[in-house]
Amino acid sequence: EVQLVQSGAEVKKPGESLKISCQGSGYTFSNYWIAWLRQTPGKGLEWMGIIYPLDSETKYSPPFHRQVTISADKSVNTAYLQWDTLKASDTAIYYCAREIDMATLPLGVFDIWGQGTLVTVSS
């Protein structure tokens, strides 16, 4: 079964750092783009960035550039989303998702999603 499994919910204080994960299984992890998305009641669903695990090529959506770091370790079939300094406004559900087809260029169609990771940032 093709699936993405994300790490568990986190509760953090403003200013702390955090790294959440997304592990793929049931397919050749390196060959499919992985995206990270944010969902909040106010702004809805937003694309944060995408990564190609084979060579770690990464593309960020402008609002998230330099706000987060997206990385991948193909040896353990895992992608990561990292914050160095969390803010209360980072409180959200974060999803990872897999591109529908193998491709060296992202198509933009993501059919396999992780279960989501709730991140709560509060003092």
Partner 1 sequence: EIVMTQSPATLSVSPGERVTLSCRASQSVSSNLAWFQQKPGQAPRLFIYGASTRATGVPARFSGSGSGTDFTLTINSLQSEDFAIYYCQQYNLWPPWTFGQGTKVEIK
Q: Which of 44, 66, 75, 123 binds partner 1 (CB under 8 A)?
A: 44
Residue 108 burial class via C-beta count within 10 angstroms: exposed 0-12, middle 13-18, buried 19 and up = exposed
Task: Please work out the total of residues on this chain that contact partner 1, with binding judged by CB under 8 A.
Answer: 22
As a 3-state breakdown, the chain gives helix, strand, coil percent values, each rounded to 5, of: 10, 55, 35
Q: Report the C-alpha gap between 96 and 89 in whole angstroms.
A: 19
Binding of residue 76 to partner 1 (CB under 8 A): no
Binding of residue 27 to partner 1 (CB under 8 A): no
Binding of residue 74 to partner 1 (CB under 8 A): no
CB of 119 to partner 1, least distance (A): 15
Residues 8-42: b if buried by 16+ CB within 10 A, e if exposed: eebebeeeeebebbbbbeebebbebbbbbbbeeee
Binding of residue 9 to partner 1 (CB under 8 A): no
Binding of residue 25 to partner 1 (CB under 8 A): no
Binding of residue 26 to partner 1 (CB under 8 A): no
The footprint of partner 1 (CB under 8 A) covers 44-47, 59-63, 95, 97, 100, 106-111, 113-116
